[in-house]
Structure 1
Amino acid sequence: MQNRYIKSDIIAGVIVFLVALPLCLGIALASGAPLISGIIAGIIGGIIVTLFSNSSIGVSGPAAGLAVIVFTAIQQLGYPAFLMAVVLSGVLQISMGYAKLGFITKLFPKSIIKGMLAGIGISIIFTQGSNILGMAEIKATVTQAFQTNDAGLFFSTMHMGAFMIFAISFAILLLFDHFKLNQNRFLKFLPAPLWVVIFGIFANLGLETFAPAYALSNTLNGFITTVSIPVISSFNDVQSFIQFPDFTSILNSAVLGTAILISLVGSIETLLCVEAADDLDPLQRKTNGNKELKAQGIGNIVSGLVGGLPITQVIVRSATNVSSGGKTRLSSFVHGITLLVCVGFLSATLNLIPLASLAAILLHVGYKLASAEVFKAHIKQGKYVFIPFAVTAFGIVATDMLKGISLGILSHMILYVVHHVNNPFQIHSDQDIDTYRIVLSKNVSFFHSWKLKQAVENLPLASTVIVDGSQSFFLDRKIPKMLATLKVKAANNNVHVECVGIPYLDH
């Protein structure tokens, strides 16, 4: 650990904790699990996983991407048997780490990873609408948000107190960015997100005193508008919150199937988030995917044993960590410790924080992930980069992370095929010596034979043509046969054809 980063890591850890707390609660709610299970998973992700991980800025905890799977599993198995599935999924993840399967997402194009970040940024912006307007309901996707009756009520039931706190909170974040106040020697010790939380608490207390009609509470018009966590007053309360797995269900086929599903989906989400977090890392460090799978596996075993939700590395908290100045694993560890201490001893104080202030912090993170500059940069790189990026981003917004990424990969593959069908080779000429080199692309199929034949026949008479297949990984069997015939025919027209890197025709 580097001493020069301790101060910034501690501050970043506290900020990540403030963002993680409502997310842990919301994901537990969306999963149909006890609220405390999300907090347990957040604590274990911050402390246990961090101890075994080598991800410098990644933060782990319960993931929204598993909410549907978890909800279904709890309904089918019951909570104790579901916890057994979580434990088994951890064992499977450790096995995957030892099998060195952490390389899988290294094969994904960077445009897909960047699209994932942008898509998550856009989703954050849209799904915070209820918190901004004083109607706090966690929505997994934009589509789900607008499929519910709540969407049509957004503006008709808008709470001015919540919107005012959000607007001023977001303005504070923008002012810090615009004037670079985080670099001010007096303000850098309390970065913008902390000022936002402090402002939110005192603003709401002020509203309670001077304008009660605009104040926020835990149950405002049937919605939660401030942080709401269980208040722990004694050790007996802790015991009542913790649940244990049903070990007798260990050989149940449904439990094993759920464990396999959680381990596969959770591992893919983790590895994708690792790639994205490494891209965000200002120090450009790289995470060992195999070691990360083992760390997540250990975390899931512990989480399942004490009643927590499945754990993955999560990009929203990781991105918040980076934007808050986190540099080492200490920030993630501090987030976990702070979650544990505050839930245990300061739950009443935490319940004073308006969700509108936390929505401003999340919206700011989403804005940075999906800014206009990010889209412009990808547009400049051309359609082969921009289209997979955009398809991934908006696929995630419309569906979920795994489906969006799948759509992005599919679009990349289609573009790749189209590109190579249309561009099976490149022609380099040296007209001074009447020599032309035709360099074949990586994949040349029989569909390209007519185009290659036409290119050779259209070259000037009395010239030398070198067909270079040394860069090709795949050459259809018809290509060498076609070239052999073409050599003889070209010779009759005084065109000399040579073949390099072509099976059976290297002369």
Structure 2
Amino acid sequence: MIGIIAAVSFGSLFGWHDKEVGALSLSLPPLANFTWSPADTLQMIPSALGLAVVTSVNLLITSRVVEHFRGRHQHLKRSDADRELGAYGIANLTAGLFGAPFSVGIPARSLANVRCGGSTRLSNFAHAGFIMLFLTAGSQLVEHIPISALAGVTAWMGFCLLDWSTWSRLPRMRRTDAVAFLLTVSSVLVVNAAISVALGCSVYALRWLYGRLTQGQATPHAIPQS
């Protein structure tokens, strides 16, 4: 919040102009009018599965981030991945009926929630309430927030998510863990997060497959007795 206020203040003071958030629509969208046909269903399935995989992986990463950065909030209840995936599935099905964008778990906001002391579901409701308050009572102010300021906040929260101690533990890691870590880190800079996570998981899949093959070859065959 302080960074956004500073960005808006400096922009107004020095006459810097950047693309802003713009006008916000606060009205509830109407129920989407659509029809289903077998051809539409077959055409939609690949995209739907892709979105489901990306959102599920993102949600699981968010849960892992919350577990990792619990810190002094040891009383924080451990996340239930199955329940969270089901809740997001219901929410996204409902949003789709109104043609609204799908919802995903966001590590940055979850981390900010934990670091500010949020440890119960009440913090989620409070978070939603403040967002609704900002978008209604302060909509005219939100409209003039530069996009670059929001990008800066996102970059800073991403920096806070980095666990720098991982690099110091890299020489002591198992080779599988080290290769998966380096492959994921390097590929996320070239492609995107979903493909990077898939590449990192593929290292463990190949390691498991290699172990199964070598285990089968190492098993001695029984020699029949004459």
TM range (shorter): 0.7 to 0.9
Q: Aligned partners of 1:294 and 1:415: how far apart in 2?
A: 31
Q: Partner letter of residue 222 of structure 2?
A: K
Q: What does residue 41 of structure 2 align with?
A: 253
Q: How far off its partner does 1:415 sit?
A: 4.4
Distance of aligned partners of 1:325 and 1:364 in 2 relative to their CA distance in 1, 3 Å threshold: farther
Q: What does residue 444 of structure 1 align with?
A: 215
Is the partner of 2:31 in helix, strand or coil?
coil
- Aligned: 1:367 with 2:196: no
Q: Partner letter of residue 204 of structure 1?
A: G
Q: Aligned partners of 1:355 and 1:320: how far apart in 2?
A: 20
Q: Aligned partners of 1:249 and 1:260: how far apart in 2?
A: 17
Given that residues 243 and 306 in structure 1 are in contact (C-alpha distance below 8 angstroms), is that contact kept between their aligned partners in structure 2? yes
Q: What does residue 175 of structure 2 align with?
A: 383
Q: How far off its partner does 1:392 sit?
A: 1.9
Q: Aligned partners of 1:398 and 1:323: how far apart in 2?
A: 30
- Aligned: 1:329 with 2:121: yes
Q: What does residue 89 of structure 2 align with?
A: 297
- Aligned: 1:271 with 2:60: yes
Given that residues 299 and 311 in structure 1 are in contact (C-alpha distance below 8 angstroms), is that contact kept between their aligned partners in structure 2? yes
Distance of aligned partners of 1:377 and 1:333 in 2 relative to their CA distance in 1, 3 Å threshold: farther
Q: How far off its partner does 1:299 sit?
A: 0.8
Is the partner of 2:222 in helix, strand or coil?
helix
Q: What does residue 404 of structure 1 align with?
A: 196
Given that residues 91 and 103 in structure 2 are in contact (C-alpha distance below 8 angstroms), is that contact kept between their aligned partners in structure 1? yes
Q: Partner letter of residue 32 of structure 2?
A: P
Q: Aligned partners of 1:381 and 1:348: how far apart in 2?
A: 51
Q: Aligned partners of 1:324 and 1:355: how far apart in 2?
A: 25
Distance of aligned partners of 1:292 and 1:363 in 2 relative to their CA distance in 1, 3 Å threshold: same
Q: How far off its partner does 1:295 sit?
A: 0.8
Is the partner of 1:238 in helix, strand or coil?
coil
Taking the TM superposition and a 5 Å limit, the aligned residue runs for 1:95-494 are 194-205=1-12, 207=13, 211-212=14-15, 215-216=16-17, 220=18, 224=19, 226=20, 228-231=21-24, 238=27, 242-249=29-36, 252-254=40-42, 257=45, 258-282=47-71, 283=74, 285-415=77-207, 444-446=215-217, 448=218, 476=219, 479-481=220-222
Q: Aligned partners of 1:341 and 1:388: how far apart in 2?
A: 42
Q: Aligned partners of 2:60 and 2:51: how far apart in 1?
A: 14
Given that residues 77 and 119 in structure 2 are in contact (C-alpha distance below 8 angstroms), is that contact kept between their aligned partners in structure 1? no
Q: Partner letter of residue 314 of structure 1?
A: I
Distance of aligned partners of 1:316 and 1:394 in 2 relative to their CA distance in 1, 3 Å threshold: farther
Identity %: 18
Greater CA radius of gyration, 1 or 2?
Answer: 1
Q: Structure 1 unaligned runs (5+)?
A: 1-193, 422-442, 449-475, 486-507
TM-score by length of 1: 0.38
Q: How far off its partner does 1:349 sit?
A: 0.9
Q: How far off its partner does 1:413 sit?
A: 3.6
Q: How many residues align structurally?
A: 220
Q: Partner letter of residue 394 of structure 1?
A: S
Q: Deviations over 1:285-333 (max 9, x none)?
A: 4222221122112211221223311122232332343344433333332
Q: How far off its partner does 1:389 sit?
A: 1.4
TM-score by length of 2: 0.76
Q: Structure 2 unaligned runs (5+)?
A: none
